[in-house]
């Protein structure tokens, strides 16, 4: 679990560095090169209105979702994609980072995950994208999935 914390905190630190006194950084300020190897565990969601039309536009190779739709309305709620998209309204209303951890499925297998969902705004007002970072591991034999834990951070 330590590695998961480091991933989330490294991406959160990059996001905070880009904020620079504003409420949210712009999408073009999030640099995959700066995130390095962590980019494979990142994703980018385009926020639409209504929120059910929001969808993934970038999914890192460690989070690639085979055979799943990538829109809010079409993602099964128990999948990692569905869980992350289900927290989009919380990010939009709180206008802050949301940390989520718990159980889900990825590629049909049960996992434990920890993620950060970070708002982005090109105009400084409306949140138009959300940067996500997630790390996960397979559920061990006999291990029960955990209920989701949600924490809001910064500002």
Note the pTM of the prediction, 2 decimals. Answer: 0.84
- Cα 126 from Cα 95, distance rounded (Å): 9
pLDDT tens digit sequence for 112-133: 999 999 999 999 889 999 999 9
Domain limits for position 143:
2-153
Could you tell me the CATH number of the domain that includes residue 10? 3.30.450.20
> For residue 154, is pLDDT > 60?
no
Smallest CA-to-CA distance from 51 within 77, 72, 25 is with 72
> For residue 70, is pLDDT > 70?
no
State how many domains the chain has: 1
């Amino acid at each position: 679990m330590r590695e998961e914390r480091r991933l989330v905190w490294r991406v959160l630190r990059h996001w905070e560095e880009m904020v620079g006194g504003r409420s949210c950084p712009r999408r073009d300020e999030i640099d995959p090169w700066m995130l390095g190897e962590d980019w494979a565990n990142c994703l980018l969601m385009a926020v639409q209105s209504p929120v059910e039309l929001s969808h993934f536009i970038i999914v890192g190779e460690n989070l690639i979702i085979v055979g799943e739709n990538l829109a809010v309305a079409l993602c099964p709620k128990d999948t990692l994609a569905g869980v992350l998209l289900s927290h989009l309204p919380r990010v939009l209303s709180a206008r802050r980072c949301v940390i989520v951890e718990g159980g889900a499925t990825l590629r049909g297998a049960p996992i434990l995950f920890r993620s950060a969902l970070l708002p982005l705004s090109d105009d400084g007002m409306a949140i138009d994208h959300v940067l996500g970072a997630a790390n996960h591991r397979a559920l061990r034999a006999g291990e029960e999935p955990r209920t989701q834990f949600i924490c809001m951070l910064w500002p």
